[in-house]
Amino acid sequence: MSARPFFAALVFAAMLVALYMVFIYVPTEQQMGVVQRIFYFHVPSAITAFLAFFLVFVASIQYLRTQQERWDRLALCAAELGVVFSLIVLITGPIWAKPIWGAWWRWEPRLTSMLVMFTLYVAYLMVRAYGAHPLQTRRFAAVLGILGFANVPLVHYSVHLWSPELQLHPRQVSLEPAMVYTKYVSYLAILLLFSYLLQWRLQLEEGTQRLAWLRQQAEDLFPAERG
């Protein structure tokens, strides 16, 4: 049931390289100063959260289409990881914003839509955790997973969709080559971490289902101990 050690070593190595590049290799950005280095993990975390929610979307469609539980498991695990990476985005964003904008939070399009997206998927996880009837819960969650994804492109394209007067996020960012390399290495490290955690989480979910099956068998064999 343990996640593969080679994959873990690969993720660890990628993280070390990314951290070396973020803190030692890359030059300090002139306008924002050292806080700009937050972006090398902030932006890849946001992209990873979008990817996770895209997986929820695809797996939810597949679950409704095929009724196969493996798609439902994938949707649940991807949603949980999407929430984890969204939380990173929502915490590191304000820490960067305070010295740059002079405020921890502004109700501008990207921040607001990101918060809405986070809240939606927390609601999704709550439905999964507290739903009474398993089959109905899975179906309802799948519908929520499909409808909730409508908000993801809104977050990504919010800087283009709303008028520039409302925006604090820049439409385009130009970076030096060293910054671009660091950005891509960070993307790779975070995506590898996401894949590793998703694989581990899926194994846990399979284990949980196996435990439920064993419990059922034990209940059938030892009916006196029920309740």
Partner 1 sequence: MENLSHLFAAYAAIWIILFGYIWRLRSRQKTLQQEIALLQQRLAEDREKRTAQGV
Judged by the rule CB under 8 A, the positions of this chain that interact with partner 1 are 1-2, 33-35, 37-38, 41-42, 45, 84, 87-88, 91-92, 95-96, 98-99, 193, 197, 200-201, 204, 207-208, 210-211, 214-215, 217-218, 221-222
Q: Where are the alpha helices (DSSP H) in 102-176?
A: 109-130, 134-148, 151-156, 158-161
**Distance from C-alpha of 56 to C-alpha of 129, rounded to nearest angstrom:** 16
**Residues 158, 110: contact at Cβ < 8 Å?**
yes
Nearer of residues 55 and 97 to partner 1, judged by Cβ: 97
The residues near 131 (Cβ < 8 Å, ≥ 6 apart) are 137, 138, 140, 141
For the record, the structure tokens of 54 come out as 């895209």
Nearer of residues 8 and 61 to partner 1, judged by Cβ: 8
Q: How far is the CB of 161 from partner 1 (least distance, A)?
A: 27
Q: How far is the CB of 18 from partner 1 (least distance, A)?
A: 11
Nearer of residues 34 and 150 to partner 1, judged by Cβ: 34
The CA-to-CA distance between both ends of the chain, in Å, stands at 29
Nearer of residues 33 and 134 to partner 1, judged by Cβ: 33
Q: How far is the CB of 218 from partner 1 (least distance, A)?
A: 6
